[in-house]
A and B are shown apart, each in its own frame.
Chain A
Amino acid sequence: AQKITQTQPGMFVQEKEAVTLDCTYDTSDPSYGLFWYKQPSSGEMIFLIYQGSYDQQNATEGRYSLNFQKARKSANLVISASQLGDSAMYFCAMREKGSSNTGKLIFGQGTTLQVKP
């Protein structure tokens, strides 16, 4: 079963507008964390934001915020005031504590975001 689902293979957004990238997850572990990574065309993985399953408030990091809806198992990334440099692939990932505490990171398939000038 797919544990992380990103349903938008590709998206466009106009520069300076906000955009939401969808992510749903599936776990029965009460201890988990959700991550968003950005991968520009150069290939490196850039950490953007993290939300822990016990965190009461939605995480924010500059122009990035995570819309965490625990009951719906949803962890959407919101990018405000898009910039041309935001054009990249974005990955949602989950880390479960698990019974053996391996802390493995499970990734979605990714969403390609293109920002139009």
Chain B
Amino acid sequence: EAQVTQNPRYLITVTGKKLTVTCSQNMNHEYMSWYRQDPGLGLRQIYYSMNVEVTDKGDVPEGYKVSRKEKRNFPLILESPSPNQTSLYFCASSNIWRTGLSSYNEQFFGPGTRLTVL
């Protein structure tokens, strides 16, 4: 089954304690990204990756790190979490954009990780 998996699904932690949220996809997608969702703001992109070893900042990258050592995995790292990083996080993957090929451009989302930083 084609899917994006994230772990953990729920996490409560304390300020300053490093954590990693894992993301894996089995569709051989080149493009992966992380979003955070906050009330009234929709989803905002944190970081993205076009392929292995190619990553770049999204709209809200402060306080986060990522790596893409393998095509299927794209972990999100919070080196020193703070309460303002309490949010719902989504990992997503897709093919690189192709004009005119509708179904090709869909982004597949993981189930989400609810993070609370105390």
Contact = CB atoms under 8 A, between A and B. Distances in A.
Interface of A: 4, 31, 33, 35, 37, 43-45, 47, 50-52, 54-55, 59, 91, 93, 95, 97-98, 101-105, 107-110
A76 to B, nearest CB: 17
Interface of B: 31, 33, 35, 40-45, 48, 50, 56, 58, 88, 90, 92, 94, 96-97, 99-100, 102-103, 105-109, 111-112, 114
Contact of B43 (A59, A91, A101): A91
A55 B102 contact: yes
B107 A105 contact: yes
Given A109-B42, A110-B42, 7 more contacts: A31-B99, A35-B106, A50-B103, A52-B102, A54-B99, A93-B43, A102-B31
Nearest to A51: B102
Given A35-B107, A95-B107, A97-B97, A107 B56 contact: no
Contacts of B103: 50
